[in-house]
Amino acid sequence: MKRAIGAAAVLAAAFLVVPSGPALADEVEQVVNGGFTAGVDPWWSSPGMPITLTDGRACVTVPGGTTDKWDVSVGQNDIDLVAGETYRFSFTASGAPEGHVVRAITGLSVAPYDTYFEASPALTVAGDSYAYTFTSAVTTAQAQVAFQLGGSAESWGFCVDDVSLLGGVPPEVYEPDTGPRVRVNQVGYLPSGPKRATLVTAATTALPWQLKNSAGATVARGRTTPRGTDVSSGQNVHSIDFSGYRRAGTGLTLVADGETSRPFDLGKQAYDRLRADSLKFFYTQRSGAEIRADLRPGYARPAGHVDVAPNLGDGDVPCQPGVCDYRLDVTGGWYDAGDHGKYVVNGGISTWQLLSEYERGTRVHAPNPSLAIPESGDRVPDILDETRWELEFLLKMQVPAGHPYAGMAHHKIHDAAWTGLPLLPHLDPQQRELHPVSTAATLNLAATAAQAARLYRRFDPAFAKRSLAAARTAFTAAQANPALFAPVTDGTGGGAYNDSVVDDDFYWAAAELYLTTGEKRYADVILASPVHTADIFGAGAFDWANTAAAGRLDLALVPSKLPGRAEVRASIVRGAEKYLAIQKAHPYGVPYAPANNMWDWGSNSTILNNMVVLASAYDLTHDRRFRDAVLEGMDYLLGRNALNMSYVTGYGEVSSHNQHSRWYAHQLDPALPNPPAGSLAGGANSSIQDPYAQSKLTGCVGQFCYIDDIQSWSTNELTINWNSALAWIAAFTAGLH
C-alpha cells in the first residue's frame, strides 16, 4: 500500500497464488498455533474485539465506523524473517456479510510498521483458502502476521483458520499474460495515418502477414521487416507496415507467424471520444465538490475536504508545526492522483497543459467538447470551466499580504500522515497541513495565472485581472526568494515533489507574463536566461519538474513580438526531429529512449509530452512526418507494446483498470468503481519503488516494468499531469483527418 509502508522498500521477488507444492525438507513453519488447536495464544486482537473460537476457527466481530484497515486487526508477533528467503503465506478465511475485504499482511510489528507483503482478498460467507508467495528483503525477529479489518461503516464478522507462514519454499516467477504476439493499436488507426504493428517472434527473416476484415477475409498482405532485439523490451521483433490500406472498418485483425492480433478499427471516432473522456477525468478528481450521479453515473460521491466530519477539511488549514502562524482556506482544486494531496507544482503543469490545449484550439479552430460538468452550458468552454476549478485553488495557495513570504505560494497541502486504501475523499480523517512556500511553486502560480489572464479575459475580465495581479506578485516574490526549495525529505502523508532547479520555472513564468502583457521587463528576463537558448529537449521533453519547454513552446506558438522568435520556433522543430529519429529506430514506434533503458516514473506521460513537441512542430511546419509520428506514438499507449495492453482505461480490448487510487479502488472493494474511461496509467517505471511491483517485477526490462494492480503505486497510479498530457494529444489527434 502506498506510503502506509514508510520509506523503506523492503520486499523483493515473486508473489502468486499457488497450490501447495511438494514439501521441501527445509520448509519451516513460522506461525505458532496457526490452526487454533491450542486456544487463542499467542494471537492478539485490537482492544474491544476479543477473539472467540467457533468450530475451531478464530472469529471476531469487527466494529463499524473505523477509517483505515489497520485500525482493527488480529495478529501474531515475534515472527522471524530471513532476507532472501521465500515464504508461503496461507490461511482460510470467511466474512459476513459477503464481500468484506481483509488486508492480510506480513510486516514489521513495531514502528515504522513496514509492510513486507500484503494481499487484500474480498471474503465470502462460505470461506476460501488463500496462499501467496513472497521473498523477504529483510532479516528481523520482529515481524508479524496480521489480518487488518478496519475501514467499514458497518460491523461485520470475520473468521480465520490454518494460518501458515512457511519458510524455505521455492520462489515463484511472475509471467505476465501478453496474449497474441502481433501487437497493434487496439483502439484504431486513422485511415489517412501510418499503420504499423510489431511482431514478437524467434524468426530472424521476413515473414508474411495478412490484414483481415471482420469477416475474416484477407484485405491486404505483405512481409514483415526483421528488427533484431528491441532494447526497450529485450524481445526479438519484426515490424509490420500496412499504411497502404485506408478503408474504414471495425474488427480488423493482423495475422503473422501463426498469431492473430487483438481486433482494432480503422476510423477517427475513437479519438473524438478520447478527447472528451481524457478531459472528463478532471471533474471526478475535484476536491471540494460533490460528484453528481447525473453527470457521472457510477462515480457519484460526496464533496471531499469541505470541513464535514470525519474530514478536518481544507477550509481552514494550518501550516505544518513551526512553518507559519496563519491558516488558509485552500478548498477546491483537483486531487493530485490516487491520494488526497494537492500540490502546486503538479497542479501547475497540469493547468498549463489544459490551457495550452484550449489555446491551441483557438488557433486551429478546434471544437471544445462538452464535458458534462456542473458548469456546462454557461457560455464558457467546459475546458476553461474545469481548469478554473484548479486555478482558483492555486490562487488560494498564495501567501496573503501582511505575512512573511507574502506573494509566495505554499508548495503543497496534504494529510499529516499517509492514509490507506480504499478511502473516499470525504472519509479522510487526517489533519491537513500547508507545507512551506517554495520558489518552484510560486513560479508555477505566476506562469499559470499569467496564462489564465490572457485566456479568460474575454469570458471573465475580473478574473483575468485578479489572475494577472497574482501572477505579477508571485513573480516578484520569487525573484526576491529565488532559492526556497521543497526538500526530498518532506514526503510524509504526501509526495515530496522536490525541485531544486528553478531556472526553467523562472523562464516559463517570464514567458507567460510576457505573452500576456507584452512588457519589456519580462522579455528581458527571457532573453537573459540561459534556458532560452539551451537545448532543452532531452530524453523527456518536459514534466512537472522540468518546465522550460512549457515556456519555449508557448513562445514559439503564441503570437508575440519577441526578438528572435524565428529561432525559438526552429528550436522546437529541432527537438521534434530528435524524437522523430528515436521513434524511427524504435521497433515499437516509441518516441522515447531513456539512457540505459531506465524508464521514468510516469513514462506514459513522458512519451506523450515528447509527442506534444512533435505535434507542435507539425503546427509550425505542417510537415506530415510530425503528424504521423504523433499518431504512431499513440499506438504504443493503446496496445502496440510489449505487454499487449492499452494504458487508457476503457480503450482497447485489454486496458489498465486497476490504477492506484483511494476511491477507484474496485480491486479492494467491489462496491467501488474502477477508474473512469479515459484514465491514463503511469506506465513502465524501471525503478519499481513499490513493494508489490518489486515482488512481481524485479529484474524487469524497460517496457515490462509495469503491472495493472492497485498496489503498484509506482507503475500504475493515475495523475492529473499524466491525463493532461493525454488530453492534449487526444485533442490533436481528434483534429486530424
Judge whether 35 and 162 are in contact, CB under 8 Å: yes
CA distance 433 to 67: 19
In the beta sheet, which residues pair with residue 54?
57
| Phi and psi, residue 304, nearest 5° | -100, 145
Helical spans, DSSP H, in 518-602: 520-528, 548-557, 565-585
Closest by CA position to 247, among listed 188, 334, 207: 188
Shortest distance, position 685 Cβ to ligand 9MR, whole Å: 9
Question: 3-state DSSP call for residue 718?
Answer: coil
Which residue's CB is nearer to ligand 9MR, number 333 or number 341? 341
Shortest distance, position 724 Cβ to ligand 9MR, whole Å: 12
Residue recorded with cell 512588457: 519
CA distance 187 to 717: 22
Which residue's CB is nearer to ligand 9MR, number 66 or number 689? 689
DSSP secondary structure letters along 201-214: -S--S--EEEEE-T
Which residue's CB is nearer to ligand 9MR, number 281 or number 522? 281
Specify whether 375 is catalytic. no
CB half-sphere exposure, 80, CA atoms < 13 A: 9
Shortest distance, position 81 Cβ to ligand 9MR, whole Å: 27
Shortest distance, position 304 Cβ to ligand 9MR, whole Å: 15
- At 106, which helix (H) or strand (E)? strand 103-108
State the SS3 of 349-416: HHHHHHHHHHHHHHHHCCCCCCCCCCCCCCCCCHHHHHHHHHHHHHHHCECCCCCCCCCCEECEEEEC
Shortest distance, position 246 Cβ to ligand 9MR, whole Å: 39
Cβ-based neighbours of 268, under 8 Å, separated by 6 or more: 190, 191, 734, 736, 737
Closest by CA position to 88, among listed 31, 35, 37: 31
How big is the chain, counted in residues? 737
Catalytic residue among 632, 660, 690, 709: 660
Q: Can you state the angle between helices 565-585 and 548-557, rounded to 10 degrees?
A: 120
Shortest distance, position 341 Cβ to ligand 9MR, whole Å: 6
Residue 720: how many CB atoms within 10 A of its CB? 26
| Phi and psi, residue 334, nearest 5° | -105, 140
Which residue's CB is nearer to ligand 9MR, number 188 or number 341? 341
Which residue's CB is nearer to ligand 9MR, number 100 or number 342? 342
* Residue of this chain nearest to ligand 9MR (CB atom): 495
Shortest distance, position 595 Cβ to ligand 9MR, whole Å: 16
Work out whether the CA dihedral 430, 436, 441, 442 comes out positive or negative: positive
Catalytic residue among 118, 357, 708, 709: 708
Shortest distance, position 495 Cβ to ligand 9MR, whole Å: 2
Which residue's CB is nearer to ligand 9MR, number 265 or number 717? 717
Which residue's CB is nearer to ligand 9MR, number 147 or number 728? 728
CA distance 479 to 483: 9
Judge whether 448 and 28 are in contact, CB under 8 Å: no
Shortest distance, position 115 Cβ to ligand 9MR, whole Å: 18
Shortest distance, position 547 Cβ to ligand 9MR, whole Å: 13
Which residue's CB is nearer to ligand 9MR, number 347 or number 407? 347
Residue 395: how many CB atoms within 10 A of its CB? 22
Cβ-based neighbours of 402, under 8 Å, separated by 6 or more: none
Q: Which residues of the chain form contacts with ligand 9MR (CB under 6 A)?
A: 336-337, 339, 341, 495-497, 601-602, 717, 719
CA distance 450 to 571: 24
Specify whether 632 is catalytic. no
Specify whether 717 is catalytic. yes
Which residues form the catalytic set? Answer: 660, 708, 717
